[in-house]
Amino acid sequence: MQDLTPTSPLSHAPELRELVIPFGDAGYVALYRHAPGDDAVYILAFRHQKEAGF
């Protein structure tokens, strides 16, 4: 799992996290939010690493 650093574009939203999923020569990135109060993880976006942005 990749933690977001203070220089990350998502650092302004600490509740958002990225999960890098290796696959082939690149992989996928899942943008998600963990809601401990709901005991849930919400997948917000899923993209191939070679795509630009979410």
Distance between CA atoms of residues 32 and 34, nearest Å: 7
**Among 18, 22, 11, 20, which residue's Cα sits nearest to residue 43?**
18
Q: Is residue 8 part of a domain?
A: no
| Residue 6 located in a structural domain | no
**Quick one: tokens of 39?**
């005991």
Question: What domain range is 22 assigned to?
Answer: 16-51
7-46 confidence digits (pLDDT tens): 555 555 668 899 999 999 889 999 999 888 899 999 999 9
- What's the number of domains the chain is made of? 1
The verdict on pTM exceeding 0.85 is no
Return the residue matching tokens 């963990």.
34
Q: Is the pLDDT of residue 1 over 50?
A: no
- The answer to whether 15 and 34 have CB atoms below 8 angstroms apart is yes
Look at residue 40 and tell me if it is in a domain.
yes
